[in-house]
Copies of this chain bind each other. A is one copy, B any other.
Amino acid sequence: MQPVAETLPDMGNRRATSYDVARMANVSQSSVSRAFTSGASISEDVRQRVLEVAAQLGYQPNAIARSLITRRSDLIGLMIGQATNLIYPEVLFELSRRISASGSRVLLFALESEAEIGAAMEQLWRYQVDGVISAARLSAEQVGEFATRRVPLVLYNRVLPDCAVTAVSVDHADGERRLVDRLVKAGHRRFGLISGPADNAVSVERMESALARLRQHGLDQVAAARGAYTYESGGEAFGQLVEMLAGPPDAVICANDAMAIGAVDAARHHYKLSVPQQVSIVGFDGAGTARWLSYDLTTIRQPVRRMAEAAVQMLMERIDTPDMEPETRLYAGELIQGGSARLG
């Protein structure tokens, strides 16, 4: 081993490469590579010297070049839509944290509309992501493209009917059943439903589950209005329900928290109804804001941390073992007995 060269290599403003480090440390370029690869066979002596020079030069291995040869980018694509849904920021942060913790980086696609999904997928392919977690509305065809390209995919809260796909989801049906049972038990009879967008599978499943359960209780005269998952639309939908029923409903079941909160405000401020004495309102998701005292929403809390942890773990497994079977994990939500509804 030669002594360390005294002169700084001329890099003409370019970033330092492993060759620059090698030259200055008087070792071969491969030794530099090995110094940054845990478990590589390299003497402690050389490793130290390389690391020292690297620090001096501010050298960090180029992950782009690395993934070209290893065929692994350590990039996980994260697709998320519906910025309006209160729980999404929480989901996004939780997933992002878990992905970082498992040694990968997050390539984020925050989608405004479904129309953008195609373009996002194209970029996913181009950037050679190792896998993708999606909380956006993929069509069965789009899910199929992941399979064709053999890019592992985990859906978050999107269970596609008739489509074998790996997913984590809160048990929407179970949650709605529990809400309905408790509302009925408390004596509510005139029900109103506020659903989300018609093409949103989650909303559809939640609302159909609620409706089915109400029918089982012999209640089949249920008013239904459609919202857009937003606070404002929840208030408007509440107004529609009041018109349809020619008076306030006993209880309103909303497809998410944002609309439920909108409904609570509309009931209180526009219709001067007291919640929950005159009307019970329940939501779904258990977003942090739903716990604020002024709303204290009765809702089903999605176990976001556990779900995010599972999603990332399932994805990583499939990256390491490409031919695993699709698997769906359903998580029971926690019923949060807030002050926005009377439960029996």
Contact = CB atoms under 8 A, between A and B. Distances in A.
Interface residues of A, number: 50
A142 interface: no
Nearest to A65: B68
Interface stretch (A91-99, A158-166, A194-202, A220-228): A91-99
Contacts of A293: 265, 268-269
Interface in A238-274: 261, 264-265, 268-269
A137 B231 CA distance: 32
A144 to B, nearest CB: 12
A63 B100 contact: no
A88 B110 CA distance: 14
Interface in A279-314: 288-289, 292-295
Contacts of A89: 83, 88-89, 92
Contact of A63 (B60, B126, B149, B292): B126
Interface in A72-106: 73, 78, 83, 88-90, 92-93, 96-97, 100, 105-106
A100 B106 contact: no
A265 B291 CA distance: 11
Given A292-B231, A294-B265, A110 B92 contact: yes
Contact of A108 (B73, B78, B123, B264): B78
Contact of A110 (B97, B122, B268, B292): B97
A50 B125 CA distance: 18
A63 B110 contact: no
A48 interface: no
B265 A126 contact: no
A107 B105 contact: yes
Contacts of A289: 289
Contact of A64 (B83, B105, B106, B128): B128
A268 B294 contact: yes
A109 B105 CA distance: 8
A62 interface: yes
B108 A127 contact: no
Contacts of A97: 110, 112
Nearest to A235: B293
A260 B221 CA distance: 42
Identify the 8 closest CB pairs spanning chains A and B, nearest first: A89-B89, A265-B293, A63-B126, A96-B110, A294-B294, A108-B108, A60-B125, A106-B108
8 contacts: A13-B150, A60-B122, A78-B108, A83-B90, A92-B92, A96-B109, A106-B108, A268-B293
Interface of A: 13, 15, 58, 60-65, 67-68, 73, 78, 83, 88-90, 92-93, 96-97, 100, 105-110, 112, 122-123, 125-128, 148-150, 231, 261, 264-265, 268-269, 288-289, 292-295
